[in-house]
C-alpha cells in the first residue's frame, strides 16, 4: 500500500446500510453503528414539486399528526420498495448525515435489501447509493446479514436457521456455505401486528386509535401467548370514541392484546413450519442441534420464542440486540474478507 492509499483509507468512510421497512441503520467501517433512524420521510407538495420536510426520527413523530399538505411516507412499507424516489432521497440523506469528512476516496457501500425486492428495485437502490457518492455498491440478502449478525456459522457446511421479523415482513431462511439453502418471506411483521391492534380496539371497544399508539401498546404489553391468569397486565389507552365522536380513554388487558395478535403469530409459525418441511434432511438435522435464532424488532414480542419452541419442538432463541443484528452482520460483511462470498450483485 502506498502512502496515498494509506492516507485515503484513513479517511475512508466505507459503510454498511440496513435499509429496513421500519428502521434504517448505518454502520461505518471501524466505528460501528453510527445512525439508527426510522425509515420515514415527511414531504410537502408545493406547486407539484416534492419538498422534503423531515427525514428519519424527526419525520416519524409527525406520523398521524400532519397538517396542511405535509405527508409522511414510509418508502419501504410492506417489505418492498413502495416509493423509489423517496427511498433514494432518504438513503442520500442518511449517507450525508454520517459523513464526517469531505476528503478521502469515495466510499464503498454495502446495502442490505429486503429479500422481497425485485431486480429493478435492487438496481434502483444500488443507483441511489452510487448517486450519493459511493465508488462501489454491494448488496446483501437480509437473512444472510441477520444470520452473520447473530453469530451463526454461515460460511460452514452446517444449516443455520434464522427468522427475521421486521416491520413489513418476516424472512425465514436456512443458510449454509455462504448461501441461502431455502428461504421464504411472509407478509406479516410489526406493521400487521399494529394494524391488528387498531382493528381489535375498534371492533371491541368502539375506540379509534392511531398506529403509533398501537405500536406502543404492542411494545409495552404485547405477547404471543395469553397470560396464565387469563388477564395479565393492563394499560390505559386513548383515542376517539366512535359512538359519540369525542376523545376517550379505556383500559385494555394483555389477554386482549394476545387475542388481537393471535392471527399474525399463527402466520409466522406457519411460515417457519413450511420451511422446516421443505429443507433437505441433513440441514434439518443441523437445526435440531443448532436451533432457530430470531432477529428483527418483532423478535422482541414477548413469548414469541416460547410459542415457536412449543410448535416446532426445536430450541429457539432470540439474538442479542435483535434490532441491530442486520446492521452488525452487514458491517461484518464489509470488514471481514471471509464474508466477501456472501455479497450479491443487482
Ligand atoms: P425493519 O427491518 O423492517 O426495519 P426492524 O427489525 O427494525 O424492522 O423491527 C421493527 C419492528 O419491530 C416494528 O414493527 C416495531 O414495532 C417492532 N418492535 C420493536 N420493539 C418491539 C417489542 N418490544 N415488541 C414487539 N415488537 C417490537
Ligand atoms: Mg430488518
Which residues make beta-bridge pairs with 165? 170
Q: Which element (helix H / strand E) includes 203?
A: helix 190-205
Same domain as 80, residue 15: yes
Helices and strands in the chain: count of H runs, count of E runs: 11, 16
Distance 246 CA to ligand 2 centre (A): 37
Q: 71 CA to middle of ligand 1, Å? A: 22
- Predicted confidence at residue 1, as pLDDT, reads 43
pLDDT at 132: 81
* Most confident residue range from 6-20, 61-75, 286-300: 286-300
Of 168, 190, 233, best ligand 1 pocket probe by most atoms within 8 Å of the beta carbon: 190
Three cell numbers at 68?
Answer: 396542511
Which residue is it, cell 397538517? 67
CA of 95 to the centre of ligand 2 (A): 18
The CB of 22 under 6 Å from ligand 1? The reply is: yes
Q: Which residues pair with 140 in a beta bridge?
A: 112
Ligand 1 atom 9 nearest Cα? 297
Position 64 in a domain: no
Cα of 9 to ligand 1 centre, how many Å? 35
CA of 314 to the centre of ligand 1 (A): 24
**pLDDT category, 103, cuts 50, 70, 90?**
low
Closest CA to 16 of 128, 121, 79, 95: 95
Write phi, then psi, for 251 (nearest 5 degrees). Answer: -110, 140
Q: Is the CB of 75 under 6 A from ligand 1?
A: no
**Per-residue model confidence (pLDDT) at position 47:** 87
Q: Which atom of ligand 1 lies at the shortest distance from residue 189's CA?
A: 14
Location of C-alpha cell 386509535 = 209
What global pTM score does this model have? 0.94
Tell me, yes or no, whether 32 and 102 share the same domain: yes
pLDDT over threshold 90, residue 82: no
Domain coverage including residue 104: 3-39+74-144+325-345
DSSP secondary structure, 291-308, as one string: -EEEESGGGGSBTHHHHH
Q: How far apart are CA 98 and CA 53, in angstroms?
A: 19
- The percentage of residues in the chain with a pLDDT greater than 70, rounded to a whole number, is 94
Nearest CA to ligand 1 atom 18: 297
Cβ proximity of 25 and 18 under 8 Å = yes
Do 24 and 102 fall within a single domain? yes
Cα angle vertex 272, ends 270, 276, to 5°?
Answer: 115
Nearest ligand 1 atom to alpha carbon 22: 4
Q: In the chain, how many domains are there?
A: 3
pLDDT at 16 over 90: yes
Task: Judge whether 294 lies within some domain.
Answer: yes
Nearest Cα to Cα of residue 74 among 211, 328, 63: 63
Residue 340 three-state SS: helix
- For 246-267, how does the pLDDT look when each residue is reduced to its tens digit (9 = 90+)? 999 999 999 999 999 999 999 9
pLDDT at position 102, please?
Answer: 65
Is the same domain home to 87 and 27?
yes
Q: Do 17 and 130 sit in the same domain of this protein? A: yes
Q: Per-residue confidence at 124, pLDDT binned at 50, 70, 90?
A: confident
Confidence at residue 8, expressed as pLDDT on a 0 to 100 scale: 46
Amino acid at each position: 500500500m502506498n502512502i496515498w492509499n494509506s492516507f485515503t483509507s484513513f479517511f475512508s468512510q466505507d459503510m454498511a446500510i440496513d435499509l429496513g421497512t421500519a428502521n434504517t441503520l448505518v454502520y461505518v467501517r471501524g466505528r460501528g453503528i453510527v445512525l439508527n433512524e426510522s425509515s420515514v420521510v415527511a414531504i410537502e407538495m408545493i406547486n407539484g414539486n416534492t419538498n422534503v420536510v423531515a427525514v428519519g426520527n424527526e419525520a416519524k413523530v409527525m406520523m398521524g399528526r400532519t397538517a396542511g399538505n405535509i405527508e409522511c411516507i414510509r418508502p419501504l412499507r410492506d417489505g418492498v420498495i413502495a416509493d423509489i424516489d423517496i427511498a433514494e432521497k432518504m438513503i442520500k440523506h442518511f449517507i450525508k448525515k454520517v459523513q464526517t469528512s469531505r476528503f478521502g476516496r469515495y466510499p464503498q457501500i454495502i446495502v442490505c435489501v429486503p429479500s422481497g425486492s425485485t431486480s429493478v428495485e435492487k438496481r434502483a437502490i444500488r443507483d441511489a447509493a452510487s448517486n450519493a457518492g459511493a465508488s462501489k455498491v454491494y448488496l446483501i440478502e437480509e437473512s444472510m446479514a441477520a444470520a452473520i449478525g447473530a453469530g451463526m456459522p454461515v460460511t460452514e457446511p452446517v444449516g443455520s436457521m434464522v427468522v427475521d421479523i421486521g416491520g413489513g415482513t418476516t424472512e425465514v431462511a436456512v443458510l449454509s456455505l455462504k448461501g441461502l439453502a431455502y428461504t421464504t418471506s411472509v407478509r406479516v411483521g410489526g406493521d400487521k401486528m399494529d394494524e391488528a391492534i387498531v382493528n381489535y380496539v375498534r371492533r371491541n371497544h368502539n375506540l379509534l386509535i392511531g398506529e403509533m399508539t398501537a405500536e406502543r401498546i404492542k411494545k409495552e404489553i404485547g405477547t404471543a401467548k395469553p397470560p396464565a391468569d387469563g388477564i395479565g397486565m393492563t394499560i390505559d389507552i386513548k383515542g376517539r370514541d366512535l359512538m359519540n365522536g369525542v376523545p376517550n380513554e379505556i383500559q385494555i388487558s394483555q389477554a386482549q392484546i394476545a387475542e388481537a395478535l393471535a392471527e399474525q403469530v399463527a402466520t409466522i409459525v406457519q411460515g417457519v413450519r413450511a420451511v422446516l418441511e421443505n429443507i433437505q434432511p441433513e440441514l434439518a438435522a443441523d437445526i435440531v442441534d443448532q436451533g432457530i435464532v430470531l432477529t428483527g424488532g418483532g423478535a422482541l414480542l414477548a413469548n414469541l420464542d416460547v410459542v415457536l419452541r412449543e410448535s416446532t419442538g426445536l430450541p429457539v432463541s432470540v439474538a442479542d440486540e435483535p434490532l441491530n443484528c442486520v446492521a452488525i452482520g452487514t458491517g461484518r460483511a464489509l470488514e471481514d474478507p471471509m464474508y466477501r462470498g456472501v455479497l450479491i450483485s443487482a
